[in-house]
Chains A and B, each alone.
Chain A
Amino acid sequence: DQQVKQNSPSLSVQEGRISILNCDYTNSMFDYFLWYKKYPAEGPTFLISISSIKDKNEDGRFTVFLNKSAKHLSLHIVPSQPGDSAVYFCAASARRGSTLGRLYFGRGTQLTVWP
C-alpha cells in the first residue's frame, strides 16, 4: 500500500505562474520529507527537504509547506520556468522504527511548463 501519495499524475502551468505540487502521506511516523526532480533517462536530483519541526522551508524559487495534522505537503515553484518541466517525486522517511534509513516515494507528478 502506498504510504506516500501523489494523486495528480500531471500538472500543466504557464511560464511565470506558480506551480503547486501536492503530496499526502499516511504513516504518522514520517518526520522528514524530500522533493526530487527527475528528467527522462536520468537519476533524480534532490530539490528541497523539510523536517516535521517546521511547516515551511524555502530555497530560491522552491518552497515546501508541511501540514502535519493533514499529513500533507506541497511544493511551490515561483515563478515557473520551462526548464522546470520534469517529474517531481515526493519522499518521506522516519527517524525511528524498523525502516530507519529508507525513503518512501510517491509515484510522481509530471510538471509541464509552457511558454
Chain B
Amino acid sequence: DGGITQSPKYLFRKEGQNVTLSCEQNLNHDAMYWYRQDPGQGLRLIYYSQIVNDFQKGDIAEGYSVSREKKESFPLTVTSAQKNPTAFYLCASSIRALSGRDTQYFGPGTRLTVL
C-alpha cells in the first residue's frame, strides 16, 4: 500500500537534545512538507521541499532543520534551539512540485514530548 510513514508515533527526549523525526513516502510524490500542530494553533508550516536537495523555510523554521537527499525521505531535526519543541508533528506530500492545485496527503504524525 502506498502512503506516508512517520515513526515513531510517540517520542520522548530530554531538554537540550536534538531529535530527528522520520518521514518516508512511497507515493512517488515530488513535494514534501513538515507541519506542527499545537492546541488552538492549527497547522503551521515548518519546512517544505519541492525537489530533492532543495527546501524552503515555512512560517516557523527557527530551531528546526531538514534534508532531502532522497525523493521518498524528508527527515526533520528538532534542535536544542527550538524553545517549545513539545508538539504534534505532521509530515505531508503532494504529487507535483510548485502546483498550487494538488492535494497534500498527511502521515499519521509523531507526538514529541521534551522533558
Contacts and interface: CB of A to CB of B under 8 A. Distances in A.
A100 interface: yes
Interface of A: 6, 9, 31-32, 34, 36, 41-46, 49, 51, 89, 93-96, 100-103, 105-108
Contacts of B99: 100-101
Nearest to A107: B42
Interface string B2-45: 00101000000000000000000000000101010000111111
Nearest to B97: A101
Nearest to A101: B98
Given A41-B88, A43-B107, A107 B101 contact: no
Contacts, number: 64
Interface of B: 4, 6, 31, 33, 35, 40-45, 48, 50, 58, 88, 90, 92, 94, 97-101, 103-109, 111
Contacts of B33: 102-103
Given A42-B108, A89-B42, A101-B48, A34 B101 contact: no
Contacts of B97: 101
B109 A41 contact: yes
18 contacts: A9-B40, A36-B106, A41-B88, A42-B108, A43-B4, A43-B109, A44-B43, A44-B106, A49-B103, A51-B101, A93-B100, A100-B99, A101-B31, A101-B48, A101-B50, A102-B33, A105-B43, A106-B42
Contacts of B40: 9, 107
Given A31-B100, A102-B33, 8 more contacts: A32-B101, A42-B108, A42-B109, A89-B43, A95-B101, A101-B31, A101-B100, A108-B42
Contacts of A44: 43, 90, 106
